[in-house]
Chains A and B, each alone.
Chain A
Amino acid sequence: MSSATADAGHGHHDQGFIKKYLWSTDHKVIGFQYLFTGMFMALIGGFTVYVFRMQLAFPGMSVPGFGRVTAHDYNSLVTTHGSVMIFWVAMPVLIAALGNYLIPLMIGCDDMVFPRINRLSYQLFLVSSLVLITSFFVDGGAFGGAWTAYPPLSAKAAYNLTPHGAPLWLVAVALEFVAFLLGGINFITTVMNSRAPGMKMFDVPIVVWMIVIASIVFMASVGPLVAGAVMLLFDQTVGTGFFDPSRGGDPVLWQHLFWFFGHPEVYVVLLPAMGIVAEIITVFSRKKLFAYKTVLYTAIGTGVLSFFVWAHHQFVAGIDPRMANIFSVTTLLISIPVAEMVFVYIATLYGGSIRLTTPMLWALAFIGEFLIGGVTGIFLGASGSDIYFHDTYFVVAHFHYTFFPIAFIGSFAAITYWFPKMFGKMLNETWGKVHFWGTIIAFNFIFIPLFLTGARGDHRRIYDYTHFPDLMKAGMQEMRVLATLALVVLLAFQVVFLVNFFYSLVKGKKAEQNPWKANTLEWVAASPPPHGNFPELPTVYRGPYEYSHPEAKDDYWPQNQPPQTA
Chain B
Amino acid sequence: MISHYLEQASTFARDIDNLILLITLTVGFWFLLAQFLFFGFILKFRAQDGKKAQYISGENKWEKRWVSLPHYATLFFDVLIIIAAIRVWQDVKMTLPQADSTVRVIAQQWAWTFVHPGPDNKLDTADDIRTVDELHVEVNKTYHFELQSRDVLHSFSVPVFRLKQDVIPGRTIKGWFKPTMTGGFDVQCTEICGIGHGIMAARVLIENAADHAAWVKANAPQVAAATPADNVPTGGSR
Contact = CB atoms under 8 A, between A and B. Distances in A.
B84 to A, nearest CB: 7
Nearest to A376: B27
A24 interface: no
B193 A153 contact: yes
Interface in A355-401: 355-356, 364, 367-368, 371-372, 375, 378-379, 382-385, 387-388, 390-392
Given A153-B194, A378-B81, A467-B201, A388 B16 contact: yes
Q: Which of A251, A293, A321, A384 gathers most chain B CB within 10 Å?
A: A384
A70 B199 CA distance: 12
B23 A468 contact: no
B219 to A, nearest CB: 22
A383 B84 CA distance: 10
A346 interface: yes
A332 B93 CA distance: 20
Interface string B90-106: 00111000000000000
A245 B38 contact: no
A165 interface: no
A288 B56 contact: yes
B192 A328 contact: no
B88 interface: yes
A332 to B, nearest CB: 4
Contact of B186 (A318, A356, A469): A469
A555 B53 contact: yes
Contacts of A390: 164, 190
Interface stretch (A3-11, A143-151, A411-419): A143-151
A246 B34 CA distance: 52
Contacts of B42: 349, 354, 356, 364
Contacts of A349: 38, 41-42, 45
Contacts of B86: 325, 328, 383-384
Interface in A144-165: 144-146, 150-153, 159-161
Given A343-B66, A343-B67, A378-B81, A292 B58 contact: yes
Interface in B60-84: 63-64, 66-67, 70-71, 74-75, 78, 81-82, 84
B188 A351 contact: no
A245 B237 CA distance: 10
Interface string A471-515: 101000000000000000000000000000000000000000000
A335 B76 CA distance: 12
Contact of A159 (B6, B94, B152): B152
Given A71-B198, A346-B41, A293 B85 contact: no
Given A354-B42, A375-B31, A385-B23, A324 B93 contact: yes
B218 interface: no
Contacts of A346: 34, 37-38, 41
Contact of B19 (A150, A340, A385, A549): A385
Nearest to A361: B42
B166 A318 contact: yes
A13 interface: no
A387 B194 contact: no
A462 interface: yes
Nearest to B159: A457
Contacts of A461: 192, 197-198
A200 interface: no
A18 interface: no
B171 interface: yes
A240 interface: no
Given A75-B195, A324-B93, A464-B198, A339 B74 contact: yes
A461 B64 CA distance: 45
Nearest to B46: A354
A53 interface: no
Contacts of B64: 291, 294
A457 B9 CA distance: 14
A22 interface: no
B15 interface: yes
A367 B42 CA distance: 12
A144 B185 contact: no
A332 B81 contact: yes
Contact of A455 (B5, B70, B167): B5
Contacts of B238: none
A336 interface: yes
A266 B180 CA distance: 40
Given A346-B38, A353-B48, A390-B190, A384 B88 contact: yes
A379 B157 CA distance: 18
A252 B55 CA distance: 53
B210 interface: no
A285 B42 CA distance: 9
B142 interface: no
Contact of A72 (B88, B162, B195): B195
A347 B36 CA distance: 13
B135 to A, nearest CB: 14
Nearest to B75: A336
B45 A316 contact: no
A371 B35 CA distance: 8
Given A294-B67, A340-B71, A457-B186, A385 B57 contact: no
A139 interface: no
B153 interface: yes
B54 A287 contact: yes
A317 B58 contact: no
Contacts of A378: 23, 27, 81
Interface string B175-201: 000000000011011111111111101
Nearest to A452: B5
A375 B27 contact: yes
B109 interface: yes
A521 to B, nearest CB: 21
A193 B67 CA distance: 32
B166 A455 contact: no
A341 to B, nearest CB: 9
Interface of B: 1-2, 5-6, 15-16, 19-20, 23-24, 27-28, 30-31, 34-35, 37-39, 41-42, 45-48, 51-59, 63-64, 66-67, 70-71, 74-75, 78, 81-82, 84-89, 92-94, 109, 151-153, 155, 157, 159-160, 162-171, 173, 185-186, 188-199, 201, 235-236
Given A152-B151, A152-B169, A328-B86, 15 more contacts: A150-B152, A245-B236, A285-B53, A290-B67, A291-B58, A315-B89, A328-B85, A344-B67, A349-B45, A383-B86, A385-B23, A460-B192, A461-B192, A463-B198, A468-B201
3 cross-chain pairs, A with B, having the tightest CB-CB distances, nearest first? A245-B170, A384-B88, A351-B54
15 contacts: A70-B195, A71-B197, A286-B53, A291-B59, A321-B93, A335-B74, A343-B67, A391-B155, A455-B1, A457-B188, A460-B190, A461-B197, A461-B198, A470-B186, A548-B54
Interface of A: 70-72, 74-75, 144-146, 150-153, 159-161, 245-246, 251-252, 285-294, 315-318, 321-322, 324-325, 328-329, 332-333, 335-336, 339-340, 342-344, 346-356, 364, 367-368, 371-372, 375, 378-379, 382-385, 387-388, 390-392, 455-457, 459-464, 467-471, 473, 547-550, 555
